[in-house]
Amino acid sequence: MKNRSMVVSLIGRPNVGKSSLFNRLMQKQHKAITHDQPGVTRDRHYGITTIEDLQDVDAADIILVDTGGFYPERIDERGRNSEEENANKFFNIMTDHARMAIGESDLVLFVVDVREGALPFDNTIADYIRTTKKPFLVVANKYDSDKQAGEEIDFYSLGIDSDELFTTSATHGRGVTFLREKIQRLASEFSNGALKSMPEISKGVTPREEVVSKIALIGAPNAGKSTLLNLLVGAQRALVSDIAGTTVDPIEGFFDLYFGKEAKILEEDQGFSSNDGLLFKQYEEFRRNNADVYQQMVDSYAIEEDSDKNVGMEHFEVDYELTTLVTEELDQQRSESFDKNYDQVFNEESEESSEEEITLSTESSETVEKKEDDNHWRSIHIIDTAGIRRQKTVNGFIESQSVYRSLRSITESDVVIVMIDATNGIGHQDRRLIDISLEKGKSVIVALNKMDLMREQLPDEAAKREWLNNLRRDIPWLDFCDIITISAKHNKGMKKLKEALKKTILVRSRNIPTGELNRFVFDLVERNPVIAKSQGAKRFKVKYTSMIKSGPPTFLMFTNKSQGIPEHYRRYLVNSIRSGFKLYNTPVHLIFRTGNDLAKRMKKSKMAMMLND
Q: Which residues participate in the annotated binding site for GTP? A: 12-19, 66-70, 141-144, 219-226, 384-388, 449-452
Query: CB atoms < 10 A from the CB of 347, how many?
Result: 11
CA distance 175 to 166: 7
Closest to 553 (Cα-Cα) out of 512, 519, 513, 514: 512
- DSSP string covering 253-314, please? EEEEEE-GGGGGGGGS------SHHHHHHHHHHHHHH-HHHHHHHHHHHHHHH-GGGGTTGG
Question: Rounded to 5 degrees, what angle do the CA atoms 204, 25, 232 make?
Answer: 10
Which residues carry a binding-site annotation? 12-19, 66-70, 141-144, 219-226, 384-388, 449-452
On the 0-12 / 13-18 / 19+ scale of CB atoms within 10 A, 158 is buried
For residues 588 and 552, is the Cβ–Cβ distance under 8 A? yes
Strands 60-66 and 45-51 turn out to be antiparallel
Residue 189: which of 6, 10, 449 has the closest Cα?
6
Provide the residue type at 499 as one letter: E
379 - beta bridge partners?
211, 256
Q: Write out the H or E segment, with its range, that includes residue 108.
A: strand 107-113
Residues 6+ apart with CB under 8 A from 264: none
Burial 5-33 (b: 16+ CB within 10 A, else e): bbbbbbbbbbbbbbbbbbbbbbeeeebbb
Q: Which residues pair with residue 421 across a beta bridge? A: 449
Determine contact, residues 437/417, Cβ cutoff 8 Å.
no
Cα separation, 603 vs 87, whole angstroms: 68
Whether a cis peptide bond, with omega within 30° of 0, leads into 529 is no
Cα distances from 572 to residues 264, 479, 580, in angstroms, run 32, 13, 12
| Other CB atoms within 10 A of residue 42 CB | 23
What is the Cα 254 distance to its own chain's centre?
A: 11
Using CA atoms, how far apart are residues 525 and 528, in angstroms rounded to an integer? 5
By CB atoms closer than 10 A (0-12, 13-18, 19+), residue 606 is: middle
Query: Buried b vs exposed e over 452-475: b needs ≥16 C-beta within 10 Å?
Result: bebeeebeeeeebeebbeebbeeb
The size of the chain, in residues, is 613
Phi, psi of 48 (to 5 degrees): -115, 125
